[in-house]
């Protein structure tokens, strides 16, 4: 018996998505670049998926560049724009995902200047904070739409308004947001937006960068022609088809899913409130419907995770991408949470298939672990 509550790390693929993908492995296997009917069939499927992804974020299909995932989309956005700009200062928020931070740091090594936009204690990145860092050479700003660890949703529209007034390009990482809240690219005011399939019940290995039509991007992966000359490489047809279907379903079922998740999370949080010593991070900030980050003071997060796993409950601390590192989450630190306390963080991310019984199992196990470890702690003290 296992309960999967780590949906921000990845989601199981939806069976309807899988059914749509499978024929493109063995049966409709053509290379979309081939002129014969096998190729044309694959090409049509890719075009259809492009429309579906475009619909999810309300853009024109021509604005969708398929990539191998969210990490690549973020890399393409930052590096792709930067090389076309004459000035060399980029600003990213302190709470970005490592796939935004790392490319920004790599660019720093190559001569770019990097400014960090501060988050406040509620996990918000405010226009005021951006204003503090804007300077003469700032050409690019990146602020995520929703944070993967805390779930806090940013007012990217306000950020963009300020950035645009200074002629600055805006990128937003919507990898966690898409499928969990309504996302309208235009409304965010961003020039570029990253998406990932495996966060919305689609397959791993495929994502997209949504771009403003007027934007000029330097490719990250060169190789003639694909994705309007911006991204080389034979298309991952089955993956793209899956992404398209997952996006279509996400759009249709958005309201139903978010209602279910809000309900379930309300139930979970009520239970958490009843457990002594647990705090919910950024509890009163606007958060994604499925994400709860909790602090369990006095108990090492990693230990708690191991014990929860043994009990069949899968959650995480911080992002999967940084899993296994002993550093406390940079997101929590940016919010002013003390290092030692940040080490006691657990992230719970609900999925569309989770039910109240799953929440109960988590709560029971949490309470038991908390009680056990506190007892052990006390015994260690006593002896």
Exactly one of 238, 249, 251, 292 binds other proteins (CB under 8 A); that residue is 238
Task: State in angstroms the smallest separation of the CB of 213 from other proteins.
Answer: 21
Asked whether 226 and 240 are in contact (CB, 8 A), the reply is: no
Exactly one of 157, 158, 314, 341 binds other proteins (CB under 8 A); that residue is 314
Q: Does 116 bind other proteins (CB under 8 A)?
A: no
Exactly one of 63, 176, 236, 290 binds other proteins (CB under 8 A); that residue is 236
Exactly one of 87, 189, 232, 279 binds other proteins (CB under 8 A); that residue is 232
Residues in region 125-164 near other proteins by CB under 8 A: none
Which of 12/298 has CB closer to other proteins? 12
Alpha carbons 61 and 240: distance in angstroms, whole number? 13
> Which residues touch 77 (CB under 8 Å, ≥6 apart)?
142, 171, 192, 194, 209
Q: Does 303 bind other proteins (CB under 8 A)?
A: no
Considering the candidates 139, 293, 321, 344, report the single residue annotated as catalytic. 321
Alpha carbons 100 and 89: distance in angstroms, whole number? 15
Exactly one of 48, 58, 85, 204 binds other proteins (CB under 8 A); that residue is 204
321 is catalytic: yes
Q: Does 321 bind other proteins (CB under 8 A)?
A: yes
The size of the interface with other proteins (CB under 8 A), counted in residues, is 78
Residues in region 331-370 near other proteins by CB under 8 A: 353
138-142 vs 89-93, strand pairing mode: parallel
Q: Does 68 bind other proteins (CB under 8 A)?
A: yes
Exactly one of 50, 118, 198, 257 binds other proteins (CB under 8 A); that residue is 198
Q: Residue 262, exposed/middle/buried by CB under 10 A (0-12, 13-18, 19+)?
A: middle
192-196 vs 64-67, strand pairing mode: unpaired
Exactly one of 30, 61, 137, 189 binds other proteins (CB under 8 A); that residue is 30
Residues in region 78-107 near other proteins by CB under 8 A: 97-99, 102-103, 105-106
- Binding range to other proteins, per CB under 8 A, among 33-41, 122-130, 255-263, 290-298: 33-41
Which of 238/295 has CB closer to other proteins? 238
Q: Does 378 bind other proteins (CB under 8 A)?
A: no
Q: Which residues are catalytic?
A: 321
């Amino acid at each position: 018996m296992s309960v999967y509550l780590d949906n921000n790390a990845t989601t199981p693929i939806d069976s309807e998505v899988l059914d749509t993908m499978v024929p493109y492995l063995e049966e409709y296997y053509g290379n979309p670049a081939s002129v014969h009917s096998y190729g044309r069939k694959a090409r049509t499927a890719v075009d259809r998926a492009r429309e579906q992804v475009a619909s999810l974020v309300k853009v024109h299909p021509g604005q969708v560049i398929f990539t191998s995932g969210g990490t690549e989309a973020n890399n393409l956005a930052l590096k792709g724009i930067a090389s076309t700009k004459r000035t060399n200062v980029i600003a990213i928020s302190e709470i970005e995902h490592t796939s935004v931070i790392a490319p920004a740091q790599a660019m720093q090594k190559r001569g770019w200047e990097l400014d960090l936009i501060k988050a406040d204690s509620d996990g918000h990145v405010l226009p005021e904070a951006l204003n503090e860092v804007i300077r003469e050479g700032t050409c690019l700003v990146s602020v995520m739409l929703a944070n993967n660890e805390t779930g806090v949703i940013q007012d990217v529209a306000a950020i963009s308004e300020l950035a645009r007034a200074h002629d600055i390009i805006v990128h937003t990482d919507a990898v966690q947001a898409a499928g969990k809240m309504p996302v309208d690219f235009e409304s965010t005011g961003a020039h570029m937006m990253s998406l990932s399939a495996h966060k919305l019940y689609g397959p791993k290995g495929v994502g997209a960068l949504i771009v403003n039509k007027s934007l000029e991007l330097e490719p990250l992966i060169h190789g003639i022609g694909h994705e309007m000359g911006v991204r080389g490489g034979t298309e991952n047809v089955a993956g793209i088809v899956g992404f398209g279907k997952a996006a279509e379903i996400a759009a249709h079922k958005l309201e139903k899913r978010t209602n279910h998740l809000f309900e379930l999370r309300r139930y979970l949080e009520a239970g958490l409130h009843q457990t002594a010593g647990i705090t919910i991070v950024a509890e009163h900030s606007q958060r994604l419907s499925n994400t709860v980050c909790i602090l369990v003071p006095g108990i090492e997060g990693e230990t708690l995770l191991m014990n929860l796993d043994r009990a069949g409950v899968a959650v995480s601390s911080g992002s999967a991408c940084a899993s296994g590192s002993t550093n406390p989450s940079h997101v929590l630190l940016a919010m002013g949470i003390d290092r030692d306390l940040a080490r006691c963080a657990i992230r719970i991310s609900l999925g569309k298939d989770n039910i109240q019984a799953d929440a109960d199992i988590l709560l029971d196990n949490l309470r038991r672990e908390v009680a056990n470890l506190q007892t052990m702690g006390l015994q260690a003290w006593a002896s």
